[in-house]
């Protein structure tokens, strides 16, 4: 099965992460790295790995960047492993994937995540399971707020092993990214009818209850209070992201 898979990674200034991700993909015949014109050492680091092929393209949206990465970079394998630069594929998941014998109707495999804060694993997070491994030609990308969603045409089967999510970029970089991300989320929330919003998004739309609900959910429902400083940092990040979203929503209210 591993010989039938091409890992694909999108990057932009991922020097803090890309080397650790590529180290765990030595089994792949080829890894396609689609870089959004990074200004740090991302491309140089990727170039140290003989199975990595870097293609550069100016970024316009996550959905279009992924569509380009999967459909226009010459991938010939039957399966694509869709990775962010901070997704780490550890040996137990690699071995589970290697043992797969997919029936013809299976279109994708759903993989969960273990979230890490600077290498320390958390017991839980708000990060959802995703169809990371999919059959080429059976998935399409659509923009969803600040990111993309992969729509799968056919059955999706869950795997038992998990990817590590371990982003080592600085707090300053994280805050800059969140400002952009939450502006796009505010646009998404305000453009959709109330009936189409999830209960979590409805809380966010109150402008006040979202950050409070996230704090309670992370610390007590997910149990991150017992993960020490790493759990507190993750909770602080998620609360801060919701506060930034509330700020964007309130500014839009004032401007109307």
pLDDT at 256 (0 to 100): 86
Whether 195 shows a pLDDT value over 90: the answer reads yes
Q: Which of 165, 198, 217 is the last residue of a domain?
A: 165
Whether the predicted pLDDT of 104 surpasses 90: yes
- Overall domain count for the chain: 2
| pLDDT of residue 112 exceeding 90 | yes
Q: CA 127, 75, 65, 118: dihedral to nearest 10 degrees? A: 40
Q: Are residues 18 and 11 in contact, defined by beta-carbon separation less than 8 angstroms?
A: yes
Of residues 251, 239, 233, the one with CA closest to residue 115: 233
What's the confidence (pLDDT) of residue 213? Answer: 97
CA distances from 234 to 20, 118, 184, 202, 238 (A): 21, 10, 21, 22, 6
pTM assigned to the model? 0.94
Specify whether 138 is located in the same domain as 31.
yes
Same domain, 110 and 236: no
Are 13 and 32 in the same domain?
yes
- Whether 125 shows a pLDDT value over 90: the answer reads yes
Task: Say yes or no: 40 and 120 in one domain.
Answer: yes
Q: Are 136 and 239 in a shared domain?
A: no
Q: Which of 165, 200, 226 is the last residue of a domain?
A: 165
Q: Residue 46 sits in a domain of what CATH number?
A: 3.90.550.10
pLDDT higher than threshold 90 for residue 102: yes
**Percent of the chain scoring above 90 in pLDDT:** 100
Query: Residue 29 pLDDT > 90, yes or no?
Result: yes
User: At 186, phi and psi to the nearest 5?
Assistant: -60, -40
Q: Does one domain contain both 204 and 227?
A: yes
Q: pLDDT digit string (tens) for 148-192?
A: 999 999 999 999 999 999 999 999 999 999 999 999 999 999 999
Final residue in a domain of this structure, among 138, 165, 192: 165
pLDDT at 220: 98
Assess whether pLDDT exceeds 90 at residue 245.
Answer: yes
The verdict on 52 and 89 lying in the same domain is yes
Distance separating alpha carbons of residues 112 and 129, to the nearest angstrom:
4
In angstroms, the Cα distances linking 144 to 61, 75, 82, 141, 151 are 10, 25, 17, 9, 11
- Is the pLDDT at 18 greater than 90? The verdict is yes
Print the domain residue range for 175.
171-255
Q: Tell me: do 134 and 190 sit in the same domain.
A: no
The reply to whether 31 and 136 lie within a common domain is yes
Residues 152 and 66 in one domain: yes
Q: Are residues 27 and 69 both part of a single domain?
A: yes
User: What does the mean pLDDT of the chain come to?
Assistant: 97
Q: pLDDT band for position 68 (50/70/90)? A: very high
Residues 17 and 126 in one domain: yes
């Amino acid at each position: 099965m591993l010989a039938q898979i091409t890992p694909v990674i999108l990057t932009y200034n991922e020097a803090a992460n890309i080397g650790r991700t590529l180290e765990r993909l030595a089994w792949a015949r080829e890894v396609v790295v689609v870089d959004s014109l990074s200004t740090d050492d991302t491309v140089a680091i990727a170039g140290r790995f003989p199975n990595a092929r870097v293609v550069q393209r100016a970024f316009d949206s996550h959905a279009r960047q992924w569509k380009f990465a999967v459909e226009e970079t010459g991938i010939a394998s039957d399966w694509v492993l869709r990775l962010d630069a901070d997704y780490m594929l550890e040996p137990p998941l690699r071995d589970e994937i290697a043992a797969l014998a997919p029936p013809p109707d299976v279109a994708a495999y759903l993989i969960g995540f273990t979230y890490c804060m600077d290498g320390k694993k958390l017991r839980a997070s708000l990060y959802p399971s995703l169809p990371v491994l999919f059959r080429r030609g059976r998935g399409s990308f659509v923009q969803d707020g600040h990111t993309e969603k992969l729509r799968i045409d056919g059955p999706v089967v869950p795997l038992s092993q998990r990817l590590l999510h371990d982003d080592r970029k600085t707090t300053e970089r994280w805050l800059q990214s969140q400002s952009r991300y939450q502006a796009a989320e505010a646009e998404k929330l305000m453009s959709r009818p109330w009936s189409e919003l999830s209960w979590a998004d409805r809380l966010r739309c109150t402008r006040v209850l979202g950050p409070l609900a996230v704090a309670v959910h992370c610390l007590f429902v997910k149990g991150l209070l017992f993960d020490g400083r790493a759990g507190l940092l993750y909770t602080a990040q998620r609360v801060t992201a919701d506060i930034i979203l509330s700020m964007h929503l309130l500014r839009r209210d004032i401007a109307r």
